[in-house]
Structure 1
Amino acid sequence: MDTYKIMIVDDDPHICEIVQAYCEREGFISTYCHNGAEARMLLTSFEPDLIVLDVLLANENGIDWCRNVRGYTNAPIVFLSSHEEDEVKISALSDGGDDYVTKPFSPGVLMAKIKAHLRRVSTGRKEQLLELPGLTLDFYSQSVIMGSETIFLSKKEFSLLSFMAQNVNRAVSVDALFQLVWGTESLEDTRTVAVHISNLRKKMEIDPAHAERIVTVRGTGYMLVARGGGQSS
């Protein structure tokens, strides 16, 4: 059985102790820190399988921290926050977060979410590659290799890209992408898909405003082009 490592980043010591106690009850190895600078050092030395991250850290925004470290880790990031505004949630999930839990929170619910994300990590530990002209998807590290460059993606970004890669050079509808990645019918705001596609383009395209790899198909959705070229908008 895998032993997972959980890193908790929150400026409230009481919150850290509660989350750590529940993690250890589940048999996880856990550690915590209280600010972004400590978290960056701990990220390298501890190499967590999952990160529980407060949106408001001392002297730093947790969402900014998340966005800045996405090039170094693909570990799922579960945000904790007292903010319930949709704008904050969208920003957190768009900039690399995988889940969002509002304070005050149920430790049991938080642990259920953590275990769900770790199950997905476990199923992806066996290395798998999908090779396409000009790019390779690594299902183990949730990254895309383009030439000599490896680009790490958030879980949802990689899910979107991998689904398009399995339908390469074919248009995929926004509804299909939304249902696959978020697991619900299109009753929520499907503009979330556009936000994640925009983030993918920023990471993968030479000129994101004139995309050649992930193109928009008007009236349908998006298409991953196996080779450069194709109309975009």
Structure 2
Amino acid sequence: MDTYRIMIVDDDPHICEIVQLYCQREGFESSYCHSGADAMMQLGSFNPDLIVLDVLLANENGIDWCKNARNYTNAPIVFLSSQEEDEVKISALSYGGDDYVTKPFSPGVLMAKIKAHLRRVSAGRREQLLELPGLTLDFYAQSVHMGSRTIFLSKKEFSLLSYMAQNVNQVVTVDTLFHLIWGMKSLEDTRTVAVHISNLRKKIEQDPIHPERIITVRGAGYMLVAGKR
């Protein structure tokens, strides 16, 4: 497997440097951010396998950041915090966190926890890839790989694409897509699906105006066409 990527989100530069140093010793690629806004911007480009996240960022709440990040990544999130209250721990783990380490912490213990989560990532990820010509869906990271590019999708966009990918070269009706994603009948509300398809095309098509991947079959629905390798 490729080198694991660890993203560190903490407003304390000293903490970031310590965790990054230990990551380097383990052969991991790492990157750090001091704010939630910077971390969210980096999330798509860095594509982390695991995130180390401070509960209390400067002027930000790490738990809220975690909740938002779960729309874009399934990577394990290990919280760091000086708060030991059970309420905070429960909240952090309930809203998308996978582990909770209190400060001051032992770097060795933190790395042991990180490696344990990465072992589970590795075991699960082997079974969570769907490969099509020129297009690979990563169900774990909720991302799409096209050549050297990694593209992150929203949950609804990924659900739409993954369903069509599992029915590649077959027409999928608007009603089917609507019911699959929103859990109800479309009641002829075709625009909702059309908007999400349009957003998806902007991310995976070379020319979204003249799509070659996701084509519209008039009067029927949409079809994901298998491309060339």
Measured against the shorter chain, the TM-score band is: 0.5 to 0.7
Contact 2:101 2:110 in 1 (8 A): yes
Following superposition, the deviation at residue 69 of structure 1 comes to 1.1
Deviation by residue 1:188-216 (Cα, 9 ceiling, x = unmatched): xxxxxxxxxxxxxxx9978xxxxxxxxxx
Contact 2:93 2:99 in 1 (8 A): yes
Q: Show the 5 A alignment for 1:194-209.
A: none
Moved over 6 A (4+): 146-149, 203-206
Partner of 2:107: 107
Contact 2:63 2:91 in 1 (8 A): yes
Q: Show the 5 A alignment for 1:16-35.
A: 16-35=16-35
Structure 2 residue matching 1:112: 3-state secondary structure: helix
AA in 1 matched with 2:50: L
Partner of 1:12: 12
Deviation by residue 1:38-86 (Cα, 9 ceiling, x = unmatched): 0001111111000000000111100000001101000000000000000
Q: Show the 5 A alignment for 1:113-124.
A: 113-124=113-124
Are 1:40 and 2:49 matched, yes or no?
A: no
Deviation by residue 1:96-153 (Cα, 9 ceiling, x = unmatched): 0000000000000000000000000100122359xxxxxxxx994277xx998639xx
Percent same amino acid at aligned positions? 77
Between the two proteins, the alignment pairs up a number of residues equal to 145
AA in 2 matched with 1:77: I
Structure 1 residue matching 2:159: 3-state secondary structure: strand
> TM-score, length-normalised on structure 1?
0.57
Contact 1:124 1:139 in 2 (8 A): no
Contact 1:8 1:30 in 2 (8 A): yes
Task: Give the aligned CA root-mean-square deviation in angstroms.
Answer: 2.6
Q: Evaluate the alpha carbon distance shift between residue 53 and residue 205 of structure 1 in structure 2; reply closer, same or farther with a 3 A threshold.
A: farther
Contact 1:24 1:30 in 2 (8 A): yes
Distance 1:140 1:115 in 2: 21
Q: Show the 5 A alignment for 1:20-99.
A: 20-99=20-99
Contact 2:9 2:32 in 1 (8 A): yes
> TM-score, length-normalised on structure 2?
0.58
Distance 1:13 1:106 in 2: 17
AA in 2 matched with 1:96: G
Partner of 2:140: 141
- Unaligned runs of at least 5 residues, structure 1: 130-137, 152-202, 207-233
AA in 2 matched with 1:73: T
Contact 1:66 1:96 in 2 (8 A): yes
Contact 1:127 1:139 in 2 (8 A): no
Q: Evaluate the alpha carbon distance shift between residue 106 and residue 11 of structure 1 in structure 2; reply closer, same or farther with a 3 A threshold.
A: same
Contact 2:11 2:57 in 1 (8 A): yes
Partner of 2:206: none
Partner of 2:208: none
Distance 1:147 1:36 in 2: 23
Distance 1:6 1:125 in 2: 16
Are 1:150 and 2:149 matched, yes or no?
A: no
Distance 2:139 2:111 in 1: 23
Contact 1:124 1:140 in 2 (8 A): no
Distance 2:157 2:37 in 1: 30
